[in-house]
């Protein structure tokens, strides 16, 4: 999985006025927790954070606080957005280690041309990412789904996705994609 370097500055607990002042300066208040460590409050530059949040990709974040030489390995845990301006208001990072599995959402990549589409069906995709759990070294950048053998009225569920050393955490009955029959195909079949 790809790594993303992010620089931050530690901060003290503050009231609403302090937090709003950070946001006016182009900073986003953040929180780091996990691995039995105490919560660390810090801020990051909103423009640097935008490169991390405005992408479908998932990243392992190497967080460097106050100019530290060694970064803290973490993942995005929760983001809070302004409902009107879509501005990032707050981010929670979860510290992760090499020996404990990490649960993260990974994008799906659809590959191939479905047989059902060539027979006149319509392809649909319900899910763009799946939640998985794996050790850091085993986390994939993306999950590739091959739809070449997908026929008419067939679908692929989360339970059909198999990846070595990775556990699918999303509901097993989640329908990822499928091919449905169109009216033209149904009409042609009834005429015969």
User: How high is the pLDDT of residue 48?
Assistant: 93
User: How high is the pLDDT of residue 190?
Assistant: 66
Bigger pLDDT: 192 vs 36: 36
Query: Distances in Å between the alpha carbon of 94 and those of 8, 13, 125?
Result: 15, 19, 30
Instruction: Give the DSSP letter of residue 159.
Output: G
Cα(120)–Cα(115) distance, rounded to whole angstroms?
A: 9
Bigger pLDDT: 106 vs 182: 106
Query: Distances in Å between the alpha carbon of 7 and those of 31, 104, 151, 165?
Result: 13, 22, 49, 31
The string of pLDDT tens digits covering residues 15-30 is 889 999 999 999 999 9
> Once rounded to an integer, what is the mean pLDDT over residues 41-55?
92
Q: Which two tokens stand for residue 99?
A: 């020996």
Q: Is the per-residue pLDDT at 183 higher than 80?
A: no
Determine the CATH number of domain 3-95.
2.40.240.10
> Once rounded to an integer, what is the mean pLDDT over residues 101-108?
91
User: How high is the pLDDT of residue 114?
Assistant: 93
User: How high is the pLDDT of residue 67?
Assistant: 85
> Once rounded to an integer, what is the mean pLDDT over residues 62-72?
91
Q: Is 97 helix (H, G, I), strand (E, B) or coil?
A: coil
pLDDT, mean over the chain: 91
Instruction: Give the DSSP letter of residue 120.
Output: T
User: How high is the pLDDT of residue 2?
Assistant: 86
Q: Is the per-residue pLDDT at 187 higher than 90?
A: no
- Spell 144-180 as b/e; 16+ CB within 10 A means b: ebebeebebebebbbeebeeeebebbbeeebebbbbe
User: How high is the pLDDT of residue 192?
Assistant: 63
User: How high is the pLDDT of residue 185?
Assistant: 65
Residues 6 or more apart whose CB falls under 8 angstroms from that of 49 comprise: 6, 28, 88, 91
Domain locations in the chain? 3-95, 102-191
- pLDDT bracket for residue 58 (50, 70, 90): confident
Class level of CATH domain 102-191: mainly beta
Q: What is the model's pTM?
A: 0.78
Q: Is the per-residue pLDDT at 93 higher than 90?
A: yes
Residues 6 or more apart whose CB falls under 8 angstroms from that of 160 comprise: 176
């Amino acid at each position: 999985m790809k790594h993303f370097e992010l620089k931050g500055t530690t901060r003290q607990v503050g009231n609403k006025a302090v937090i709003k002042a950070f946001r006016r300066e182009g900073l986003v208040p953040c929180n780091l927790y996990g691995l039995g460590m105490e919560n660390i409050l810090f801020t990051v530059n909103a423009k640097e954070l935008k490169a991390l949040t405005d992408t479908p990709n998932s990243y392992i974040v190497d967080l460097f606080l106050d100019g530290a030489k060694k970064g803290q390995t973490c993942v995005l845990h929760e983001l809070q957005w302004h409902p009107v301006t879509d501005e990032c208001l707050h981010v929670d990072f979860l510290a992760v280690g090499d020996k404990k599995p990490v649960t993260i959402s990974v994008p799906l990549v659809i590959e191939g041309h479905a047989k059902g589409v060539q027979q006149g069906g319509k392809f649909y995709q319900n899910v763009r990412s799946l939640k998985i759990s794996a050790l850091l070294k085993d986390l994939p950048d993306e999950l590739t789904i091959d739809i070449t053998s997908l026929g008419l009225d067939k679908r692929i569920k989360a339970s059909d996705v198999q990846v070595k050393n990775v556990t699918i955490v999303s509901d097993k009955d989640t329908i990822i994609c499928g091919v449905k029959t169109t009216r033209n195909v149904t009409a042609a079949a009834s005429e015969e």
